């Protein structure tokens, strides 16, 4: 298989009609690591919004069940991106997500902002650390995919084109990012979740590396300390080196499916309808 066989297939697809296939190929073959990391940092950005972080803080999910909260979110998103929202599993994942969100009074603009991060943070991560640039079909495919999902989540006033939605994303952050104690608690709990995936001796390095990938408005909104300038340079440099190495490796022959991974919260597997916090 050619190193660029998947890219050639993507380029021959129509982003508006074939966005489910484009997202699957891009996410599961071309950029599985990058998409996962980008979506993790996309969620970090949503925690900088006081109306979002205060709701999450009140539920106690991040303080008490951070791993399960991460696994539930990751599984639902992965089901949608890997199976497609029109598949049987995708429809069940979407229904579950809508039911979980329906328990809370969430502002439409907050929904819009979270949706926008799922489009633009993977694109921005790829611009910095991807082994190749995303093609226009991939970027538009992300937009059409999440726009349609947003409609099926009954989110109102989704912009009709990607440029307008990205402007909304930028303006929303400028107007809503500010420091609160709820931001700090949810952000800290999330950092410590990621730190817990590594040996204890590496904890200070992992904390510093995470902060090195957060831009100043996010650091300020969380009330975190600025990382050392060396880490600000070193962590991106390592990720860019990884990208250069990947260009010379053989292409991925099988999709990397997060729905097939064993999860700490679900060692014996999961049922989509049981994902999320318990009913109150």
**CA 193, CA 117: separation in Å to the nearest integer?**
21
* Spatial CB neighbours of 239, under 8 Å, sequence gap ≥ 6: 128, 129
Question: Which pLDDT belongs to residue 103?
Answer: 85
The pLDDT, as a whole number, for residue 3 is 73
Q: Mean pLDDT over all residues of the chain?
A: 94
pLDDT digits (tens, 9 = 90+) for 214-273: 999 999 999 999 999 999 999 999 999 999 999 999 989 999 999 999 998 999 999 999
pLDDT digits (tens, 9 = 90+) for 121-176: 999 999 999 999 999 999 999 999 999 999 999 999 999 999 999 999 999 999 99
| Residue 1 reports pLDDT greater than 70 | no
- Identify the helix (H) or strand (E) that includes residue 137: helix 136-152
Banded model confidence at residue 62, pLDDT cuts 50, 70, 90: confident
- Quick one: what percent of the chain has pLDDT higher than 90? 89
Cβ atoms of residues 75 and 89 within 8 Å: no
Going from N- to C-terminal start, the domains of the chain cover 5-249
pLDDT score of 231: 95
The vertex-220 CA angle with 217 and 226, nearest 5°, equals: 100
Q: Has residue 2 got a pLDDT over 70?
A: no
Q: Which of these, 180, 177, 190, lies nearest to 40 by C-alpha position?
A: 190
Q: Whose CA is closest to 20, among 60, 65, 79?
A: 79
| pTM, full prediction | 0.94
Q: What is the DSSP string of 61-72?
A: HHHH-HHHHHHH
């Amino acid at each position: 298989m050619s190193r660029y066989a998947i890219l050639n297939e993507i380029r021959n697809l129509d982003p508006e009609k074939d966005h489910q296939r484009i997202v699957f190929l891009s996410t599961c073959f071309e950029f599985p690591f990058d998409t996962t990391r980008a979506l993790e940092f996309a969620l970090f950005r949503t925690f900088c919004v006081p109306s979002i972080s205060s709701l999450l803080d009140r539920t106690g999910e991040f303080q008490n069940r951070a791993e399960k909260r991460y696994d539930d979110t990751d599984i639902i998103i992965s089901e949608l991106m890997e199976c497609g929202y029109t598949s049987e599993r995708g429809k069940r994942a979407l229904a579950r997500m809508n039911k979980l969100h329906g328990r809370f009074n969430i502002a439409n603009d907050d929904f819009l902002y979270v949706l926008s991060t799922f489009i633009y943070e993977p694109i921005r991560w790829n611009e910095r650390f991807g082994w190749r640039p995303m093609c226009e079909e991939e970027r538009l495919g992300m937009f059409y995919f999440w726009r349609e999902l947003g409609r099926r989540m009954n989110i109102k006033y989704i912009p009709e084109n990607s440029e307008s939605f990205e402007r909304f994303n930028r303006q929303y952050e400028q107007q809503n990012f500010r420091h609160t104690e709820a931001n700090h608690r949810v952000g800290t709990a999330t950092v410590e979740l990621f730190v817990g995936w590594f040996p204890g001796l590496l904890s200070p390095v992992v904390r510093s590396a995470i902060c090195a990938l957060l831009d100043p408005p996010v650091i300020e909104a969380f009330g975190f300390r600025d990382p050392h300038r060396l880490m600000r340079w070193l962590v991106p440099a390592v990720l860019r080196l990884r990208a250069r190495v990947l260009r010379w490796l053989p292409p991925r022959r099988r999709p990397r499916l997060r729905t097939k991974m064993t999860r700490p919260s679900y060692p014996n597997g999961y049922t989509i309808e049981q994902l999320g916090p318990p009913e109150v």
